Chain A
């Protein structure tokens, strides 16, 4: 298959425009790390990758803003920020392989979203290239901006089904002075949830509140229902957390293992899948008791990831909350149902898709094969 790696947003737009005019089906990718995410791309005539749009375009440390090409490796991005005492704490899976554009397009996130939010909260601007061969801008380089439509929100999580993200602008967060991780183990989910509730209802503001079922805890070197709390601040604040939470602090490296839990599972299980269930906070405990396989949850956001060995198991998982099969088996078939229970907004989503991609050329099969 023909592979194209444009070197500028303009070239990206031009190539998309040409492919579209020729009626070619397009596979759009960054570094291809999330091949199993959101429904595998069925067939394509041309592959267009943003990998060569890998530059830091604007870095204003004093304004706490940065604009980067979509192809910038996420790892290089975080490293650069780290050197300047800053961060964009998305904590996505596949962090070592992913590009910034891919992280944003897939809307992947991680433990610290409790405090810092997700891409929709940290992205302040974006340029994307459309199948008409145009470059469209949303937002800009300032942290507050309501000029024009917030089209970036649509592109975030669109999994490359609407347009190609060319550049992304972020607001940067100053790195806290220190951080600590506390882990608590319980015999039952409800005890763990009770502890979560005590924390959330107090004045404490943890950055991460993850809950693992025993199957997931085992993979992480623990055993029982495990509540992992990440906190940050100055020394006095950290001591306060230590006093109020009790328990011993463990190594922060724990979070890398949590973030890469999904990728590790997918690697080891070519036929496995990961179901993401969105639930309300009060449903987290019950959902986690019922969800199959190893389950890791952002328990203070209500997002549970159920790591299923088979599509049958996944079907059982997809009865909980508002689910979707975020990652599918390697040998995905077209018949696989990945996105049950669509809400009344779905017809509008289809209209949006048709507006951007009337010939249905872009990443066919993505967005769970349904759009």
Chain B
């Protein structure tokens, strides 16, 4: 419970229009894109770093838990306030503070929507490279917290490779800056440590990112397969041959049909799998790479290899990819997105295993994922209104992630551990590593008030959660 005195002072910081506290409003802030739920007691919308500092200092004084929130598109429960308390929404800190093209940088408030960065500079032929499929909604603050990736991170790297500086507010209200517009700033790379810390070590109030010059030519191809194995083998072959497309996305048959019905992107309804491949760069290089890719696809018995002939055709192909979750939503009221990573040679066996898991649990699992990085996204369809289906979906997801770890991979490539995969951290990392992570958490957040109950397994974290989370299966 937030003490009345604390609440009065907190709401004073943001003003009458800067907070939400009615139960029906708070309900909108109890979930993110994952399947868990827990309600905040108060949601505050600061407009400046000063506001954030003032809020954090009051919560420090009254020992109230705090959780940062961007757009709430996270897929691991990162923004869910499982201990209640205050949610700090960054929706009003959404200004692009500076576009500095001659230095290839942009300075952003954390609530800036990912796609808006590229939109602001594309007329000048620049872009911001990390492009999560949720880029129309997700914020740079959330991207920094999760170290978000996207289709094009295969060639350009993930968020951490494009963030050069941060302004951070610690849970006691201390503000500091790390990095800057320059590279190679002396001292420890705190920027690198904080990117991907899942909003558990500091609140990010400013982000400096790299902008890149847009390529002169982009070519997008769709390779169509009659078997999933052939499709997966192509990814391994492209990697082994050292061909460097900028994106290699895979959709399996189940996914294809859902996407095609929803978006009419021109995907074949009868195929078992497709690869969406993009090449970028100088014209002379792209043309040759396209041939090498075509060859690799053909060597793996690709049924058809189509190259988009126009920007419209290309956009349509990508529309299918980027709206995939919407397409799933049309078919199934509930779905559970997983995010394992395997070495690229292991994609085919992993997909076979996913199929077995699907049969074992009697749940449909579709796959749409960043194949070029080996970043699997099995989407498990379930119906939370049916008894035990959520639990079955979660068990199925866990089994898949365990397989990923056992194949030399990871339990998460871009969505984060959050509260969803905490218990699997012990499967991924030895005890001493978990302890080291905990030591860092303690160093930055000694009271364990910032986004408590995330990342580390229960009992290994700095604090046991006070309140068990609700889930999508609990009464809505």
Contacts and interface: CB of A to CB of B under 8 A. Distances in A.
Interface in B381-432: 408-417, 421, 425, 428-430, 432
Interface in B126-150: 146-147, 149
B456 to A, nearest CB: 9
Q: Which of B239, B243, B345, B412 has the most CB of A within 10 A?
A: B239
A345 B178 contact: yes
A276 B183 CA distance: 11
Contacts of A204: 282
A143 B439 CA distance: 26
A135 B239 CA distance: 31
Interface stretch (B40-48, B191-199, B325-333): B191-199
Give the size category of A's interface with B.
35 or more
A80 interface: no
Contacts of A62: 236, 239-240, 344-345
Interface string A131-163: 000111110111111111111011011100010
A158 B344 CA distance: 31
Interface in B333-380: 341-345, 370, 373-375
B437 interface: yes
A349 B190 contact: yes
A240 B284 contact: yes
Contact of B408 (A140, A158, A162, A322): A140
A148 to B, nearest CB: 6
Contacts of B429: 137, 147-148
B192 A154 contact: yes
B180 interface: yes
B176 A201 contact: no
A154 B187 CA distance: 9
Contact of B160 (A150, A239, A322): A150
Contacts of B283: 240
B192 A339 contact: no
A360 to B, nearest CB: 15
B288 A153 contact: no
Contacts of A85: 242
Contacts of A118: 183-184
Contacts of B343: 60, 63, 65, 141-142
A141 B410 CA distance: 9
Contacts, number: 243
Contacts of B51: none
B469 interface: no
A142 B182 contact: no
Nearest to A121: B161
Interface residues of B, number: 84
B288 A234 contact: yes
B3 interface: no
Contact of A147 (B185, B189, B417): B417
A146 B436 contact: no
Interface in B85-139: 100, 102-105
B261 interface: no
B147 A150 contact: yes
A280 B412 contact: no
B432 A134 contact: yes
B284 A355 contact: no
Contact of A149 (B183, B193, B242, B341): B193
A158 B195 CA distance: 18
Given A63-B239, A150-B195, A279-B182, A145 B282 contact: no
Contacts of A174: 242-244
Contacts of B437: 148-149, 151
A324 B188 CA distance: 13
Given A148-B429, A149-B437, A150-B195, A120 B182 contact: no
A276 to B, nearest CB: 7
A352 B282 contact: no
Q: Which of A63, A279, A345 has the most CB of B within 10 A?
A: A345
Interface string B192-224: 110111000000000000000111100000000
Contacts of A203: 213-216, 282
A144 B189 contact: no
B412 A145 contact: yes
A321 B153 CA distance: 31
Interface string B446-468: 00000000010000000000000
Given A154-B193, A236-B288, A351-B443, A146 B281 contact: no
A236 B190 CA distance: 42
A147 B412 contact: yes
Contacts of B244: 174
Nearest to B101: A201
A146 B146 contact: yes
B188 A352 contact: yes
B432 A136 contact: yes
Given A62-B345, A121-B157, A142-B410, A303 B146 contact: no
B218 to A, nearest CB: 11
B428 A200 contact: no
B296 interface: no
B226 interface: no
A138 B192 CA distance: 12
Interface in B283-297: 283-285, 287-288
Contacts of A148: 417, 425, 428-429, 433, 437, 455
Q: Which of A63, A146, A153, A234 has the most CB of B within 10 A?
A: A146
Nearest to B411: A147
A246 B273 CA distance: 46
A345 B344 CA distance: 38
B175 interface: yes
B180 A63 contact: no
Given A142-B410, A157-B188, A234-B288, A344 B182 contact: no
Given A147-B425, A344-B176, A349-B190, A137 B430 contact: yes
Given A60-B343, A142-B343, A321-B182, A345 B187 contact: yes
A143 B187 contact: no
A303 B185 CA distance: 9
Interface string A79-91: 0000001100000
Given A62-B236, A134-B435, A150-B160, A145 B341 contact: yes
B229 interface: no
A179 to B, nearest CB: 13
Contacts of A237: 282, 284-285
Given A143-B374, A146-B414, A322-B180, A151 B187 contact: no
Q: Which of A60, A142, A351, A352 has the most CB of B within 10 A?
A: A142
B371 to A, nearest CB: 11
A282 interface: yes
Nearest to B159: A146
Contact of A348 (B176, B180, B282): B176
Contact of A135 (B153, B191, B432, B443): B432
Interface of B: 100, 102-105, 146-147, 149, 153, 157-158, 160-161, 175-178, 180-193, 195-197, 213-216, 236, 239-240, 242-244, 281-285, 287-288, 341-345, 370, 373-375, 408-417, 421, 425, 428-430, 432-433, 435-437, 439-440, 443, 455
21 contacts: A118-B183, A120-B160, A135-B430, A137-B429, A137-B430, A141-B343, A142-B343, A144-B375, A144-B410, A148-B433, A153-B189, A153-B193, A175-B242, A233-B284, A279-B182, A301-B183, A302-B182, A322-B180, A367-B187, A367-B188, A371-B187
The 5 A-B pairs with the shortest beta carbon distances in the complex, nearest first, are A153-B192, A174-B242, A236-B284, A203-B216, A278-B182
